[in-house]
């Protein structure tokens, strides 16, 4: 383990990005319970955040930010399960409720009060659809929690490499229209001293990336264009240096769109958490 | 006296036909299943005032909103004049309210300006639909009838308002000539410009014009009320209850199916205590209009087919079959069909909303992004219907795209939509 950590560190010195997780240990709720501690916040990682290689980088960025701000947090680790969101949107309420009730049982056993998550789909489901099944928590999207941490003086954000850069924000449907949060991500971009530019369709009028409603897991129906291509064109029209996202699925869709347009060398697609972590060289 | 009797008879016939149609519409809406109302009345009134009365969501598209506001104000305010016309007709009076003095002339002047603005609005809308051919008025579901329906209403409005102005112009000349009954309303802002065109006519001809316009106006309004119930223009009434009953919780939240909750609870723990929800439906999801809630059916009758939902739908914009407006139009068409079959005592279960009207391909193109619900100026929710139909497909017929079945199996077996082991969830902490 030690050697592995050292190796990672060497890579980090060269790249200054995507440092490994060797600097601190992310604990699970089970670890904490065994140690007799109750963490203040549960970091709900989500399926993409746990398994998708690209999304894992976002997960690590969030963990580093929480660690940096001295937030007492833990994950569920192998006790976490799908929230059931894609099942519910696909129409399988049985499977959704089974997943939800199992998750609620686990979380209630750990007396979870506050949850932060990097996935707007998990966020929406945990926040809005779990209460009817006995799961009542304060649920925050990571951009909301980071905004709170800055407001409380627990975290300071400087522009770093993004200072003055043109950054646009792609609103995830389940954060924006779904839950009315348009400001937190934008406030954070402004904290980076970046130039926040809006696509022609933004906020309430933002265009979906094409992944929601369980579309992520199937081929698109017959049409003349992919939704993510349509959305990428909105971004290309304003030529930002970075398309900021707040959802691992949007991130995938936009990254694919930019690749397809052969613009990967000009436009980066990054989660707000990654921008903040990179700016602070975490 | 004869005129009075004819008038009362017309009023009776018009009222009766409208009443019958409105009962039909009401019964159709109440075919839907009952649903518990969340939240409090104050929030609901607030939504209604903001969205329907205040036209709050119209102004995201300012050009259409301004002209629509002309029609809206015209409709609401000019109808004060209709009260006078009806009383005149019943009592055999002429301009009953003229006695109130200068205010009357001021009011008529204001009505004239509004009438003029209504004409301007209608002309602009006819141009937008038929000359500029704005895309959202010409999608696939905008077949012959929906297009004619819109044009009929706009042309009728122009005709009614023109009759109102012409009537006033004729009256001004007759009053100036001192013809009995006719009242002097001063210098009216709009009809004074019509006066020169009528100057050459004899008093007799002018009386005929004035009377014709008066009858045309009131018969037109009665016909309009009956026509409304056959038309997409029902929104002018239903926008109010529709916004009142629209959902208060965050748009991202889908309803909880309490009938499923009980089954899942018993599945997880056979000794679990469950409370039966009296409103829980027998089916899982919706196959036909009667499986939808009455609020969803009210939504369908409130739709004026403006197509804002469809014009922002990501699926529709990328050439997919789905159009949220079509979901609402199909629901309404099917509801009318079921209603007629019920009245005639005919069987209607050989067809259903799901499959015969709305197809699998349309349902599966939805990303549940809520762009349609956000765009709707009267808070209609096509997504709710799409989800209920998907629920039926999934839970009653086990129908879903193959990749979705795989995804669901993964969730069931590994707790993730992909085939990764749950035990590996925390691996990122060590990478």
Return the CATH number at A233: 3.40.50
- Is the CB of residue A30 less than 8 Å away from at least one CB of chain B? no
Helix (H) or strand (E) holding A268: strand A268-271
Per the CB < 8 Å rule, is B367 touching A210?
yes
Q: How far lies A126's CA from each of A113, A135, A139, A146, in Å? A: 12, 8, 7, 19
In this structure, are A250 and A203 located in the same domain? yes
Chain A hits for B251, CB-CB cut-off 8 Å, are: 177-179
b/e string for A250-277 if b means 16 or more Cβ within 10 A?
bbbbbbbbbeeeebeeebbbbbbbbbbb
Helix A142-151 crosses helix A272-279 at what angle (to 10 degrees)?
40
Choosing from A148, A183, A209, the residue where a domain stops is: A148
Query: What pLDDT was estimated at residue B431?
Result: 87
Q: How far is B42 from chain A (nearest CA, A)?
A: 21
Query: What pLDDT was estimated at residue A19?
Result: 58
Backbone torsions φ then ψ of A243, nearest 5 degrees = -100, 115
- Is the CB of residue B408 less than 8 Å away from at least one CB of chain A? yes
Chain A hits for B381, CB-CB cut-off 8 Å, are: none
Please, is A237 exposed, middle or buried when counting C-beta atoms within 10 Å of its C-beta (0-12, 13-18, 19+)?
A: exposed
- Is the CB of residue A279 less than 8 Å away from at least one CB of chain B? no
Q: What is the mean pLDDT of residues B17-27?
A: 96
In this structure, are A40 and A133 located in the same domain? yes
Structure tokens at B331: 């629901």
The residues near B102 (Cβ < 8 Å, ≥ 6 apart) are none
- Is the CB of residue B262 less than 8 Å away from at least one CB of chain A? no
List the single residue in B256, B406, B417 with the smallest CB-CB distance to A82.
Answer: B417
Instruction: Give the residue among B281, B253, B284, B302 at the shortest CA–CA distance from B389.
Output: B284
Per the CB < 8 Å rule, is B430 touching A177?
no
Q: How far lies B242's CA from each of A260, B108, B234, B355, in Å? A: 43, 32, 11, 27
- Is the CB of residue A257 less than 8 Å away from at least one CB of chain B? no
In this structure, are A244 and A213 located in the same domain? yes
Chain B hits for A254, CB-CB cut-off 8 Å, are: none
Residues A176, A262 contacting (CB under 8 angstroms): no
Backbone torsions φ then ψ of A250, nearest 5 degrees = -60, -40
In this structure, are A29 and A162 located in the same domain? no
- Is the CB of residue A25 less than 8 Å away from at least one CB of chain B? yes
Per the CB < 8 Å rule, is B411 touching A82?
yes
Question: Chain B, 292-351: which have a CB under 8 Å from a chain A CB?
Answer: 312, 314-315, 317-322
Q: What is the mean pLDDT of residues B351-361?
A: 97
Three-state DSSP class for B395?
helix
Chain A contact probe: residue of B407, B427, B429 with most A CBs at under 10 A: B429
The residues near A233 (Cβ < 8 Å, ≥ 6 apart) are A261
Residues A42, A126 contacting (CB under 8 angstroms): no
- Is pLDDT above 80 for A38? yes
- Total Cβ atoms within 10 A of residue A2: 7
Give the residue on A whose Cα is nearest the Cα of B255. Answer: A129
Per the CB < 8 Å rule, is B314 touching A99?
no
In this structure, is the dihedral angle defined by the CA atoms of residues B288, B289, B290 and B296, taken in order, positive or negative?
A: positive
Among A86-95, B51-60, B275-284, B320-329, the least confident range: B275-284
- Is pLDDT above 50 for B212? yes
In this structure, are A53 and A173 located in the same domain? no
- Is pLDDT above 50 for A7? no
Per the CB < 8 Å rule, is B260 touching A226?
no
Q: How far is A210 from chain B (nearest CA, A)?
A: 6
Q: What is the mean pLDDT of residues B331-335?
A: 98
- Is the CB of residue B269 less than 8 Å away from at least one CB of chain A? no
CA distance B281 to B285: 8
> Which band of pLDDT confidence, cut at 50, 70 and 90, is reported for residue A6?
very low
Domains of chain B: 2-16+61-233 (no CATH), 259-271+279-414 (1.10.1060.10)
- Is the CB of residue A280 less than 8 Å away from at least one CB of chain B? no
- Is the CB of residue A5 less than 8 Å away from at least one CB of chain B? no
Choosing from A97, A113, A148, the residue where a domain stops is: A148
User: What CATH number did the domain enclosing A52 receive?
Assistant: 3.40.50.1860
List the single residue in A76, A82, A211 with the smallest CB-CB distance to B416.
Answer: A82
CA distance B82 to B79: 5
Give the residue on A whose Cα is nearest the Cα of B308. Answer: A205
Give the residue on A whose Cα is nearest the Cα of B411. Answer: A82
Beta strand pairing call for A166-169 and A114-117: unpaired
- Is pLDDT above 60 for B50? yes
Question: Chain A, 183-222: which have a CB under 8 Å from a chain B CB?
Answer: 204-205, 207-208, 210-222
Choosing from A119, A148, A177, the residue where a domain stops is: A148
Helix (H) or strand (E) holding A128: none
Backbone torsions φ then ψ of A39, nearest 5 degrees = -65, 150
Rounded to 10 degrees, the C-alpha dihedral B266/B269/B275/B276 comes to 0
Chain A contact probe: residue of B59, B280, B398, B411 with most A CBs at under 10 A: B411
CA distance B93 to A216: 70
Chain A hits for B317, CB-CB cut-off 8 Å, are: 207, 225, 227, 230
Q: How far is B44 from chain A (nearest CA, A)?
A: 18
Chain B hits for A63, CB-CB cut-off 8 Å, are: 429
Query: What pLDDT was estimated at residue A23?
Result: 82
Find tokens 């939800």 and name the residue. A100
| Percent over 70 (pLDDT), chain B | 100
Per the CB < 8 Å rule, is B264 touching A98?
yes
Chain B hits for A132, CB-CB cut-off 8 Å, are: 256, 261
Alpha-helix residue ranges (DSSP H) falling in B282-380: 294-302, 308-312, 314-317, 324-344, 360-363, 371-375
The residues near B97 (Cβ < 8 Å, ≥ 6 apart) are B84, B104
- Is the CB of residue A136 less than 8 Å away from at least one CB of chain B? no
Asked whether the ipTM of the predicted complex exceeds the cut of 0.90, the reply is: yes
Q: Give first-to-last CA distance, chain A, whole Å.
A: 20
Find tokens 């209009």 and name the residue. B289
Helix B62-91 crosses helix B2-29 at what angle (to 10 degrees)?
130
Per the CB < 8 Å rule, is B425 touching A45?
yes
- Total Cβ atoms within 10 A of residue B60: 14
b/e string for A169-207 if b means 16 or more Cβ within 10 A?
bbbbbbbbbbbebbebbbbbbebbebbbbebebbebbbb
Three-state DSSP class for B366?
coil
Instruction: Give the residue among B146, B199, B147, B142 at the shortest CA–CA distance from B174.
Output: B199
CA distance B113 to B107: 10
- Total Cβ atoms within 10 A of residue B131: 8
In the beta sheet, which residues pair with residue A169?
A244
Strand segments (E) across B357-422: none
pLDDT tens digits, A191-215: 999 999 999 999 999 999 999 989 9
Instruction: Give the residue among B246, B253, B255 at the shortest CA–CA distance from B370.
Output: B253
Query: What pLDDT was estimated at residue B159?
Result: 97
Contact pairs from chain A to chain B, CB under 8 Å: 228
Q: What is the DSSP letter of A175?
A: T
The parent domain of residue A108 ranges over: 2-148
Among A133-142, A152-161, B61-70, B377-386, the least confident range: A152-161
Query: What pLDDT was estimated at residue B277?
Result: 83
- Is pLDDT above 90 for B77? no
Mean pLDDT of chain B: 95
List the single residue in B250, B370, B428 with the smallest CB-CB distance to A128.
Answer: B250
In this structure, are A140 and A180 located in the same domain? no
For Cα atoms B25, B330, A230, give the angle at the middle one, nearest 5 degrees: 135
CA distance A268 to A256: 11
List the single residue in A26, A102, A208 with the smallest CB-CB distance to B371.
Answer: A208
Per the CB < 8 Å rule, is B370 touching A173?
yes
Query: What pLDDT was estimated at residue A14?
Result: 38
Instruction: Give the residue among B327, B320, B321, B322 at the shortest CA–CA distance from B303.
Output: B327
In this structure, are A119 and A17 located in the same domain? yes
pLDDT tens digits, B95-154: 999 988 889 999 999 999 999 999 999 999 999 999 999 999 999 999 999 999 999 999
**Structural domain tally of chain A?**
2
- Is pLDDT above 80 for A9? no
> Which band of pLDDT confidence, cut at 50, 70 and 90, is reported for residue A16?
very low
Question: Chain B, 109-168: which have a CB under 8 Å from a chain A CB?
Answer: none
Residues A75, B429 contacting (CB under 8 angstroms): yes
Per the CB < 8 Å rule, is B368 touching A212?
yes
In this structure, are A102 and A233 located in the same domain? no
In this structure, are A95 and A176 located in the same domain? no
Q: How far is B383 from chain A (nearest CA, A)?
A: 10
Q: How far lies B185's CA from each of B12, B46, B99, in Å? A: 31, 40, 11
Find tokens 């706009």 and name the residue. B154
- Is the CB of residue A95 less than 8 Å away from at least one CB of chain B? yes
Chain B hits for A227, CB-CB cut-off 8 Å, are: 314-315, 317-318, 367
């Amino acid at each position: 383990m030690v050697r592995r950590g050292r190796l990672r560190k060497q890579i980090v010195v060269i790249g200054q990005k995507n440092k490994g997780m060797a600097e601190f240990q992310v604990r699970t709720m089970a670890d904490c319970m065994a140690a007799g501690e109750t963490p203040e916040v549960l970091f709900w990682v989500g399926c993409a955040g746990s398994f998708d290689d690209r999304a894992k980088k976002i997960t690590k960025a969030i963990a580093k930010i929480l660690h940096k701000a001295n937030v007492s947090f833990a994950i569920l680790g192998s006790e976490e399960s799908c929230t059931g969101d894609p099942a519910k949107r696909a129409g399988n309420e049985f499977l959704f409720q089974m997943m939800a009730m199992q998750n609620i049982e686990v979380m209630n056993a750990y007396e979870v009060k506050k949850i932060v998550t990097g996935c707007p789909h998990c966020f929406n489901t945990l926040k809005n659809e779990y209460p009817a099944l006995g799961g009542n928590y304060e649920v925050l999207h990571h951009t909301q929690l980071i905004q709170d941490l800055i407001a409380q003086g627990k975290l300071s954000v400087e522009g770093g490499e993004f200072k003055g850069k043109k950054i646009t924000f792609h609103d995830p449907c389940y954060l924006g229209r779904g839950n009315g949060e348009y400001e937190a991500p934008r406030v954070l971009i402004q904290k980076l001293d970046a130039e926040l530019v809006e696509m022609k369709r933004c906020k309430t009028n933002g265009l979906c990336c094409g992944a929601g409603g369980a579309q992520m897991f199937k081929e698109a129906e017959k049409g003349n264009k992919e939704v993510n291509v349509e959305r990428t064109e909105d971004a290309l029209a304003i030529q930002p240096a970075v398309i900021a996202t707040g959802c691992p699925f949007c991130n995938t869709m936009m990254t694919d769109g930019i690749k397809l347009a052969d613009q990967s060398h000009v436009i980066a697609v990054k989660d707000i958490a990654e921008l903040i972590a990179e700016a602070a060289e975490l | 006296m004869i005129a009075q009797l004819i008038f009362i008879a017309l009023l009776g016939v018009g009222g009766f036909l409208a009443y019958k149609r409105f009962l039909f519409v009401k019964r159709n809406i109440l075919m839907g299943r009952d649903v518990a109302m969340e939240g409090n009345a104050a929030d609901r009134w607030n939504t209604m005032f903001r969205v329907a009365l205040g036209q709050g969501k119209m102004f995201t598209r300012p050009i259409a909103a301004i002209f629509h506001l002309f029609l809206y104000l015209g409709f609401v305010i000019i109808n004060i004049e209709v009260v006078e016309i009806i009383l005149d007709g019943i009592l055999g009076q002429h301009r009953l309210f003229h006695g109130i003095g200068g205010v009357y002339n001021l009011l008529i002047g204001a009505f004239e300006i509004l009438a003029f603005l209504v004409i301007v609005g209608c002309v602009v809308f006819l141009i937008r639909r038929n000359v500029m051919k704005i895309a959202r008025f010409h999608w696939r579901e905008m077949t012959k009838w929906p297009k004619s329906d819109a044009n009929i209403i706009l042309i009728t409005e122009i005709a009614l308002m023109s009759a109102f102005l012409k009537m006033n112009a004729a009256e001004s000349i007759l009053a100036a000539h001192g013809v009995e009954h006719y009242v002097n309303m001063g210098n009216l802002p709009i009809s004074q410009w019509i006066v020169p065109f009528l100057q050459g006519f004899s008093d007799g001809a002018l009386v005929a014009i004035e009377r014709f316009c008066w009858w045309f106006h009131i018969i037109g309004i009665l016909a309009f009320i009956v026509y409304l119930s056959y038309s997409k223009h029902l929104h002018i009434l239903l926008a109010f209850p529709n916004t009142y009953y629209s959902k208060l919780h965050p748009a991202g939240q889908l309803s909880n199916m309490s009938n499923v909750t009980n089954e899942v609870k018993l599945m997880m723990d056979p000794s679990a205590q469950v409370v039966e929800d009296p409103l829980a439906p027998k089916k899982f999801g919706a196959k036909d209009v009667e499986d939808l809630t009455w609020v969803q059916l009210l939504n369908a009758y409130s739709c004026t087919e403006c197509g804002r939902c469809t014009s922002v739908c990501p699926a529709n914009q990328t050439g997919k079959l789905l159009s949220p407006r079509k979901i609402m139009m199909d629901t309404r068409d099917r509801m009318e069909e079921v209603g007629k079959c019920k009245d005639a005592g005919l069987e209607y279960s050989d067809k259903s909303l799901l499959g015969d009207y709305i197809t699998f391909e349309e349902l599966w193109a939805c990303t549940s992004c809520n762009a349609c619900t956000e765009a709707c100026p009267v808070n209609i929710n096509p997504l709710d219907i799409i989800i209920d139909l998907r629920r039926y497909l999934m839970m009653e017929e086990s129908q879903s795209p193959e990749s979705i079945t795989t995804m669901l199996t993964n969730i069931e077996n590994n707790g993730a939509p992909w085939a990764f082991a749950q035990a590996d969830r925390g691996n990122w902490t060590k990478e």
